Amino acid sequence: MTAINVRTTKDMEFVNITSQVQKIIDESDVENGVCYLYVPHTTAAITINEGADPAVVKDIIEQLNKTVPKSGRYHHLEGNAHAHIKASILGSSQTVIIKNKKLALGTWQSIFFCKIQRVTNSFLIFDFCFN
């Protein structure tokens, strides 16, 4: 198992980690298999979406903030209920096929670590299943 550390600077930030994941695959013995990505945080997530146009990520963030506002009326009283809800919507794991030592992503797809509540250092867990 491998961990990738991700530094974030904003309250709501999507960090493209595709090249970091591909680098780990390049340095591994994996030719073909499955890559599992898991975020062990309750206020962070991982998603796959378009990486070519930054406006897509901006739209996703704006719509999440509109749908789940920071200042909503929540039962959780620690001030971060919005972050827990957004993380649940996006999800804590992704699976990507590895074919010929490459992530089998679509032309425009990228892997994003989604930090929803500002914490300076986060990580995700990365593992392979291969034959």
Return averaged pLDDT per consecutive 10 residues of the chain, 131 residues in all. 83 94 93 92 94 97 97 92 97 96 98 84 68 58
CA-to-CA distance for 113 and 38, rounded, in angstroms? 10
Q: What is the CATH number of the domain that holds 116?
A: 2.60.120.460
CA-to-CA distance for 57 and 23, rounded, in angstroms? 23
User: What pTM was estimated for this model as a whole?
Assistant: 0.92
Query: Domain range holding 104?
Result: 2-130
CA-to-CA distance for 6 and 16, rounded, in angstroms? 10
Total structural domains in the chain?
A: 1
Is 111:24 a contact under the CB 8 Å cutoff? Answer: no
Is 102:93 a contact under the CB 8 Å cutoff? Answer: no
